[in-house]
Amino acid sequence: MDKMITKSESINQKRWKKFKSIKRGYYSFIALVTLYILSLFLPLFINSKALLVKYEGSYYLPAIVDAIPGLNSYYDGSIFNQDIAGEANFRHLQRKWKGTNNWVIMPLYPFNPYEDITNNESKMYEAPSSTHWFGTDDTGRDVFARMCYAFNISISFAFILTVLNYIIGVSIGGAMGYFGGKFDLFFQRLIEIWSSMPLLFVVIIISSILEPTFVLLIFIYTLVNWIFLTYYMRAEFYREKSKDYVSAAISMGQSNTKIIFKHILPNSLVPVITYFPFSMVGGILVLVSLDFLGFGLAPPTPSWGQILYVGLSNITKWWMVFAPIMAQFFTLLSIVFIGEAIREAFDPKIYSRLR
């Protein structure tokens, strides 16, 4: 560190610059975030409900209503003079009204992830084609539509899971290192018990009993998974606590909360942040694994693991193996790229090689 007295950038600005300079990480980041934000509006892009219907002079917006939670988006077939039981089939209407005054604008991909063979157009095990890009599954549901919805669920799951794990792991680990004593000892024993158990097995046991929902599954997995950060945070807080700046803060009469959150935490957070993307990779893999085993989210929920399970039980239906694995692969790959770039940006370890 020689003279660095130029117009100083803050350390975070520098990190961001460095991160941007690592192209594959940066572009992966942009791509993933864009895709995720788009996936929040999936009902507008991938849906069997029409975006806009004009029928007998009045307009309907089924897909948009569908995208807003809490609104009733059920349109009976009889509204559009369609002779079927139950909900209107907009794909059918689009074909039927060709050349008339009435028209239908369908979303980009006019299938929804729950449409099974009870819908008379769907067939089981249809190979990929221009209508069903990734074919259909064992109950005639469109695999591409399911995969897109599953993308949203997987990322949300992994993100919420990781954030929760971080909050719990950092606070308990930090408290263990900072306060020490009986508190530390108690949690050390607890962590030892936790880390000696085959955690996935325990999760499977619990979810075989409880039949988990999204929230419940996150809760269960957080319950078994929070310990991994505590190791690191405990050691870090323990080390930082003995440093002079903490002694100074204590002698100035700072409260414990302030010392923990204002002084020690920012100093020990960097490695934890760089680990975040890899932790998310873990979260996505867990959801896929649990869904694959049938102990994940309850059945009709679209999920990569469930498609993969169907594919592997019908080995000739290769699209149901390749599609979810590819989706998972590219998602994880981009997260790994992001993680790699973040690590580089936060922790610029320059490897010098002699000779």
Partner 1 sequence: MFNYVIRRLLLMVPTFLGATLLVFVILQMAPGGPLEKTVMQMQKGAPSGGGASEGGASGNSSSSSGTLLPKRALKELERFYGFDKPIWQRYLIWLGVWPREIKHRNVSFKLGENEKKKNMGKRRFAYIKREGSSLSVFDKEGKPSTLWKARFDMDISDEEIENFENLKNQGKLSEIKKLEATVYETEFSGVLTGNLGKSYTYQQPVTEVMKPRFKVSIMLGLTGWIIAYLVCIPLGIKKALRHGSRFDLISSVIVFMAYSIPGWAFGGVLLVLFGGGSFWDVFPLGGLHSPQEVWQDLSFFGKVLDQIHHAILPIIAWTIGSFASLTVLMKNSLLDNMSQDYIRTAFAKGLSEKRVIWVHAIRNSIIPIASGIGYIIATIIAGSYFIEMIFNINGFGKMGYQAILDRDYPITMGFLVVAVLIRLIANLLSDLALAAVDPRIRFK
**23 phi, psi to nearest 5 deg:** -60, -50
* Among the residue ranges 59-67, 117-125, 191-199, 263-271, the one whose residues contact partner 1 (CB under 8 A): 191-199
Q: Are 344 and 324 in contact (CB under 8 A)?
A: no
Q: Are 143 and 168 in contact (CB under 8 A)?
A: no
Closer to partner 1 by CB, 34 or 208: give it. 208
329 binds partner 1 (CB under 8 A): yes
From 81, 195, 213, 256, residue interacting with partner 1 (rule: CB under 8 A):
195
224 binds partner 1 (CB under 8 A): no
- CA distances for 2 relative to 13, 62, 322, angstroms: 20, 64, 54
315 binds partner 1 (CB under 8 A): yes
Within 44-103, the residues that bind partner 1 by CB under 8 A are none
Nearest Cα neighbor of 277 from 289, 285, 267 is 285
H or E, element range at 71: none
332 binds partner 1 (CB under 8 A): yes
Q: Are 124 and 320 in contact (CB under 8 A)?
A: no
Least distance (Å) between residue 267 CB and partner 1: 23
Least distance (Å) between residue 195 CB and partner 1: 8
Closer to partner 1 by CB, 257 or 316: give it. 316
Closer to partner 1 by CB, 149 or 292: give it. 292
| Cα–Cα distance measured from residue 279 to residue 335, given in angstroms and rounded to the nearest whole number | 10
325 binds partner 1 (CB under 8 A): yes
Within 100-139, the residues that bind partner 1 by CB under 8 A are none
Place of tokens 């100035």: 252
From 124, 193, 248, 298, residue interacting with partner 1 (rule: CB under 8 A):
193
CA 47 to chain centre: 21
Least distance (Å) between residue 246 CB and partner 1: 27
Q: Count of CB atoms within 10 A of residue 217's CB?
A: 24
Both structure tokens of 183: 């508190």
- CA distances for 352 relative to 14, 21, 282, angstroms: 22, 21, 32
From 54, 133, 285, 344, residue interacting with partner 1 (rule: CB under 8 A):
285
Place of tokens 């693991």: 305
Within 292-311, the residues that bind partner 1 by CB under 8 A are 292-293, 308, 311
From 197, 213, 245, 262, residue interacting with partner 1 (rule: CB under 8 A):
197
Q: For the CA atoms of 45, 46, 52, 56, what is the dihedral angle to 10 degrees?
A: 170
Closer to partner 1 by CB, 31 or 44: give it. 31
351 binds partner 1 (CB under 8 A): yes
Binding site for partner 1 (CB under 8 A): 189-190, 192-193, 195-198, 200-202, 204-206, 208-209, 281, 285, 288-289, 292-293, 308, 311-312, 315-318, 321-322, 325, 328-330, 332-333, 336-337, 340, 351-355
